[in-house]
Amino acid sequence: MPKRILIIGAGEAGRMVVREIVAHPEIGYEVAGFLDDQAALQGKTVEGVPVLGTCRELIEVARRTPLDEAIISIPSAEREVIRRIIGLCRDAGLPLRIVPGLLEIIKGSVGLEQIREVHPEDLLGRETVEFDEAALSGAIGGRRVLVTGAGGSIGGEICRQIGRFRPANLLLLGRGENRIYDIEYELRNRFPDVRIEAVIADIRDQRGLFYLFDRCRPEYIFHTAAHKHVHYMEAFPEEAVINNIFGTANIIEVCQRTGVERLVMLSTDKAVAPKGVMGATKRLAEYLMVDGSAKTGQTRLITVRFGNVLGSRGSVVPLFISQIRSGGPVTVSDSEASRFFMTLKEACMLVVQAAILGRGGEIFILRMGEPIKIIEMARDLITLHGLRPDIDVPIKLIGLRPGEKLRESLSAEGEAVADSSHPQILTTRAAVPAGLDIRQALQRLKELVAGGDAKGIKAFLNEIIPDAEIDL
């Protein structure tokens, strides 16, 4: 017996799915009908398939019509629509899959092999950003590119994106040899024509960096290496300063002294009005980039600031999924806590795009839409697993941890945000606070680190960053 399919959305994407199923009877699919909210389509047929009702009638349609699976074919659907359909399919006991995004459809017809399970990133309810791949290929192709923190989830994805543009050499720098081994092995198989080189090194070792850069002569640097876990950095502020500040200072100096063409540093929305040490150290790293840009030299220093990345190590989504699969509870800090979310690919393509947009000294920000409440993301993920929030899987409020904020912002007070040449990317410029001597600040931080003065480090960061509010 063929598997009976309900297609949600009778637009062009849904019609493509029908045509694919009709053209391939060997796969054993049969389209039972469409659901669509357009009043003009009710009671009509599309591609010879009846429109059985609206999306909100899904449960009723599933009761009266034998169905085996539903497919969402609304590529431009907003987040609330996706959430509602997932919940209805769960309540109807109907397995659910989804077609690719609109950009994939524009570039080519939907193939049945492209229809996939619903992923957490689909819950963002907005289109994946399209980037200027021709310009990126022209800029990066044939170049020597080095990525710090290449063994991390973001650093590794940047390497995957860069590899597509055929650099002459891709250097993977990291301290953890096991993670570097994994990404090197993957990239060598994925890009056999690209020269891949693993580099076990530490950004805190300036002398070692000079030796490496002198030998390899990288032209583009993507600096992703950093400590990012908020609560760990509250407990170990010395490590945050050494890695996020001194490590970045080392990278900047080595780039400028060895003639690197472009340095792109990753920052975070937690650097804006920082409440924790991690965000404050990244804010000071932004100051270092601004200060370095004011100096003469050929290196363009470019910063990219973005929010939470779905699926990155340590982010809430993998944690929630693990908790859901264990039966809960799913732990949420506060019912009002919200964050900006973006997909891993979006974040990394933004970083790569910024490498060719930047003239030096800018901060680039992706248009990320409205922040999403963390508790809503938790409920969506529970629903996505076919379970009921607060019934099948409990949600437990545990309170904000040290260094965490209720809400994040992507731009600081007084920063003028403007459009860039890319429609989905904004730009601003950070300013070093008046009267702050960067070199003196670094020297003072070295003294505090050497003395193991955690409280002194926090107090000093509060002193030199105007909008910082770190608890001592």
Q: Indicate whether 271 belongs to any domain.
A: yes
Domain limit, last residue, from 89, 118, 147: 118
199 and 255 belong to one structural domain:
yes
| Tokens of residue 468, six digits | 């910082």
Q: How many domains does the chain have?
A: 2
Helix (H) / strand (E) containing 450: helix 438-450
Q: Indicate whether 205 belongs to any domain.
A: yes
What is the domain-level CATH number for residue 148?
3.40.50.720
Q: What is the pLDDT, as a whole number, of residue 107? A: 45
Q: What is the pLDDT, as a whole number, of residue 111? A: 56
253 and 352 belong to one structural domain:
yes
Q: What is the pLDDT, as a whole number, of residue 106? A: 41
> Is the pLDDT reported for residue 392 higher than 80?
yes
Active site residues: 270
79 and 224 belong to one structural domain:
no
> Is the pLDDT reported for residue 132 higher than 90?
no
Higher pLDDT, 307 or 170: 170
Question: To which residue do tokens 């357009």 refer?
Answer: 38
Q: What is the pLDDT, as a whole number, of residue 277? A: 97
Q: What is the pLDDT, as a whole number, of residue 354? A: 83
Q: State which amino acid sits at residue 427.
A: T
> Is the pLDDT reported for residue 162 higher than 50?
yes
Domain limit, last residue, from 118, 151, 182: 118
Q: For all residues of the chain together, what is the average pLDDT?
A: 90
- Dihedral sign for Cα 322, 328, 329, 330, please: positive
Q: Indicate whether 370 belongs to any domain.
A: no
Beta strands in 231-324 (DSSP E): 262-268, 300-306, 308-310
95 and 143 belong to one structural domain:
no
137 and 261 belong to one structural domain:
yes
Strand 418-419 and strand 425-428: the pairing is: antiparallel
151 and 250 belong to one structural domain:
yes
Q: How far apart are CA 204 and CA 118, in angstroms?
A: 41
Residue % of the chain over a pLDDT of 90: 69
Strand 169-174 and strand 69-72: the pairing is: unpaired
Strand 330-332 and strand 169-174: the pairing is: unpaired
Q: Indicate whether 319 belongs to any domain.
A: no
Q: Indicate whether 316 belongs to any domain.
A: no
55 and 141 belong to one structural domain:
no
Dihedral pair phi/psi, residue 52, rounded to 5°: -90, -10
290 and 195 belong to one structural domain:
yes
Q: Indicate whether 101 belongs to any domain.
A: yes
Q: What is the pLDDT, as a whole number, of residue 114? A: 64
140 and 283 belong to one structural domain:
yes
Per the structure, the complete domain to which residue 247 belongs is given by 133-306+346-360+413-428
90 and 144 belong to one structural domain:
no
Higher pLDDT, 358 or 464: 464
Q: What is the pLDDT, as a whole number, of residue 102? A: 46
- Summarised one tens digit per residue, pLDDT across range 53-68 is 999 999 999 999 999 9
Q: In this predicted structure, which of 95-109, 320-334, 349-363 has the lowest mean pLDDT?
A: 95-109
27 and 147 belong to one structural domain:
no
Q: Indicate whether 160 belongs to any domain.
A: yes
Higher pLDDT, 358 or 460: 460
- Summarised one tens digit per residue, pLDDT across range 184-225 is 999 999 999 999 999 999 999 999 999 999 999 999 999 999
Dihedral pair phi/psi, residue 344, rounded to 5°: -60, -40
272 and 418 belong to one structural domain:
yes
Give me the mean pLDDT over the 79-99 stretch.
89
> Is the pLDDT reported for residue 141 higher than 80?
yes
Strand 262-268 and strand 338-339: the pairing is: unpaired
Q: What is the pLDDT, as a whole number, of residue 125? A: 63
Q: 102: alpha, beta or left, given left = phi > 0 and alpha = psi -120 to 50?
A: alpha
Q: Indicate whether 108 belongs to any domain.
A: yes
> Is the pLDDT reported for residue 299 higher than 70?
yes
DSSP 228-257: --HHHHHH-HHHHIIIIIIHHHHHHHHHHH
Total residue count of the chain as it appears in this document: 472
> Is the pLDDT reported for residue 122 higher than 80?
no
